[in-house]
Amino acid sequence: MTQPVIAAVDGSDRGLEAARFAADEASRRGAPLRLVTVVPWPYDGLSAPPPDLDLPALLHRSGESVVGAAADTVADVDVSTSVLDGDPVSVLTELSVDAQLVVLGGRGVGGVAGLVLGSTASGVVAHAHCPVVVLPDDSTVVVHGRQSVVVGVEGRPRDEDVLAFAVAEAARRGTDLVAVHAWQDVVLDLPLREVSPLIDWAGVRADEERVLAEALAGWREKEPDLVVREAVVRDRPARALTAASLTAQLLVVGHRRRRSPGSTTHGVLHRAGCPVAVVPLPPGDRS
């Protein structure tokens, strides 16, 4: 069976937006959509759900809202709903084993389950077994006519998984791919008086351009019809990626599973004005 796209919903507007985004993704992928509400107990001082709290009905209404708001998108999508109890991070991490994508809001009012709080999004990103898309706070930036998929490229073997996801997303969306390679060195952290005037910046830049070109070479051959634009930036990765993704449909970064997101992942999750897809890297990858 085709692995599902999972949307974490909690009765909040952010949860509804996550469901809509996930419905679009499921339609593009020809995958089923699973709407999941996770209720942690004890919750709000309660050791068990109160008898008058009809969680299945709540989720059913959320599902109907998604279908009603995106009727054209979900017309060809198999939609199912479920209510699960437990720690949201643990439950969603377990579900990610058999999913091809998990979508959730980065912030929200919490709803019934308190699901779309920042700590939950961060925890799921850190431990998930499949790519996770975290939606931004749409009150920070409004952009109409978003286009590209932006991907961060480090110039290491682990880029392959990240590029594979980004290339596929750009192809599904019928848009171009902007590959950003941001490099920094100790000079960025030194006072100006300590920077050597003998540094060959042109040579350093040429080396970094070569790193990005080599990382993309194979993908240009695999996807000759995909327009790929290269951007080499002398800056910290999180800041460069956030700037490059301002008008993008999606920003894609990689993350090696650990207790918490790394500095770059953490930075883009908090600052990006577009959805951020975090691709888990192979467990044995230590590059």
Q: What is the pLDDT of residues 212-248, one digit of tens each?
A: 999 999 898 899 999 999 999 999 999 999 999 999 9
pLDDT at 119: 74
Q: Which of 66-70, 112-116, 172-176 has the highest mean pLDDT?
A: 172-176
Architecture in CATH of 149-281:
3-Layer(aba) Sandwich (3.40)
Domain(s) of CATH 3.40.50.620: residues in the chain = 5-135, 149-281
Find out whether 245 and 218 touch, Cβ atoms under 8 Å: no
Structure tokens at 48: 């068990």
Residue 145 has pLDDT above 50, yes or no: yes
| Residue whose structure tokens are 């992942």 | 265
pLDDT at 149: 97
Measured CA angle at 134 (ends 263, 236), to 5 deg: 25
Structure tokens at 238: 């999180």
Find out if CATH 3.40.50.620 is the number for domain 5-135: yes
pLDDT tens for 160-171 read 999 999 999 999
Residue 95: helix, strand or coil by DSSP? Answer: helix
Q: What is the mean pLDDT of residues 240-260?
A: 86
Give the residue, 145 or 197, on which the prediction is more confident.
145
Residue 133 has pLDDT above 80, yes or no: yes
**For 3, which DSSP code?**
P
Containing 37, the helix (H) or strand (E) segment is: strand 33-39
Beta-bridge mates of residue 5: 33, 101
Query: What is the percent of the chain with per-residue pLDDT over 70, rounded to a whole number?
Result: 71
Give the residue, 88 or 176, on which the prediction is more confident.
176
Structure tokens at 198: 């003998």
What is the distance in angstroms between the CA of the first residue and the CA of the last residue of the chain? 33
Residue 190 has pLDDT above 70, yes or no: no
Give the residue, 27 or 74, on which the prediction is more confident.
27
Position 67 confidence tier, pLDDT thresholds 50, 70, 90: low
Find out whether 179 and 151 touch, Cβ atoms under 8 Å: yes
Find out whether 122 and 269 touch, Cβ atoms under 8 Å: yes
Q: What is the mean pLDDT of residues 188-192?
A: 51
Measured CA angle at 63 (ends 59, 68), to 5 deg: 145
| Global confidence as pTM | 0.84
In terms of Cα–Cα distance, which of 95, 141, 139 is closest to 115? 95
Instruction: Tell me the C-alpha distance between 125 and 285, whole Å.
Output: 17
